[in-house]
Structure 1
Amino acid sequence: MTDLSELDVQNLRHLIGGYETTHCKMQDYAHEAQDPQVKQFFQKSAQSAMETKQQLMQFLR
């Protein structure tokens, strides 16, 4: 793997933080949703955000 520049690392951290925020919000929205389809949509969105965050974190190792 190629060494990352300081700017690359900063950008990755910014993206990771954004996906963490999205994950938390989607979980909250899913918790509050009454409609099962809406709840499922937010749950899937939360899972997707977490998976993307984890993929991005691989670049920091």
Structure 2
Amino acid sequence: MSNLTTLEVEHLRHLIGGHGLITTKLKAYAENCRDPELQALLESDAAAASQAQQKLMTFLG
């Protein structure tokens, strides 16, 4: 991995935080959803956002 500038680290942290917020909200929406198909979609999207967050965190070291 190459060295990151301060600005790049700042952007990564912003993206990581955004994905964390998306994950939290999608999980909450899924918990309150009555439609099983929509609930499954929300849970799947939450998992994808969480995976993206974890992948972005690997760039921080």
On whether the aligned pair clears a TM of 0.5, the verdict is yes
CA distance in 2, matches of 1:29, 1:16: 20
TM-score (norm 1): 0.99
User: Taking structure 2 as the reference length, what is the TM-score of the superposition?
Assistant: 0.99
Aligned pair count reads 61
5+ residue gaps, structure 1, are none
Q: CA RMSD in A?
A: 0.3
State the shift of 1:46 in Å. Answer: 0.5
Structure 1 moving runs of 4+ over 3 Å = none
Percent identity for Structure 1 against Structure 2: 38
Q: State the Cα deviation string for residues 2-51 of structure 1 (Å, max 9, x = none).
A: 00000000000000000000000000000000010000010001000000
